[in-house]
Structure 1
Amino acid sequence: ILWDIYNMKFDTRTVLWSLLKYIGSGIVIMWLMFWYLSGSFWGLPRLFVAYYAASQVFMTPMSKATLYDGMLKGLIGSLGEPHSVYLDADEFKSMKMQTSGTYAGVGMVLGHDDKGLYAVSIMEDQPAFKAGIKPG
């Protein structure tokens, strides 16, 4: 056997130095990624300051999940692409239910304007259609 790991003796300094190197390398890589993505050396500190301000300084307490979802919505929203949107878990579940082809209800799509609610469309063979409700 070329290398017998069970009989190796580990010096505490060696182990701590190795951990420090790995952790330090991770921090440097993370900082470089944010520098590249944000276009600024101060991208990561700005993110930390904004996160701290939102989580600690404001009067209304927020969960980490709410802050994270808000950051992602802002990121995707800043792209200026009208067809791209970030959906959190609840919004995605709702969208999935709306587009699944199954529904529950009276069989009509409602719209609203200054005058109030109105029927946009009526689905055939549904309760609204059978009751004689017409679009408009």
Structure 2
Amino acid sequence: PFGSWHRTGAMMEKPLAEIRHDLELLGIESDDQVKEPEDHIAALCEVMAMLTGEEEALQQAVFNKHLGPWFNSFTRQLESAESANFYKSAAQLCEAFLTLEQVRFSVNTKSSKHKLKIDVKNVTDYE
């Protein structure tokens, strides 16, 4: 569940250094009790939750840099795990939520002339 793994194929790589740098700029420190690296999917979702009161452009930048590039790889991997029945459902929920966030943050904030339109009407269809 680590960004470094899904983006580079190895743990503790550049994506981890980048999130640590950005968290420092944001004034967010990890708890000494937490042993997981900051590029863990749960940690990044927690950071996004902490940013809900901040400017949308900041939320967009953090999501697009630290979650957007790899969450699909993570959820696909989890869904393909043969003995992880609970986590398959959790992966589907994670993918659905983060895809909605990806759509929300895909709008070009620099120009209101050209808006990216993405049709998401089937996101809520269930089997």
The answer to whether TM tops 0.5 is: no
More strand by proportion, 1 or 2? 1
User: Which is greater in Rg?
Assistant: 1
TM-score by length of 2: 0.26
Higher relative contact order (CA 8 A, sep 6+): 2
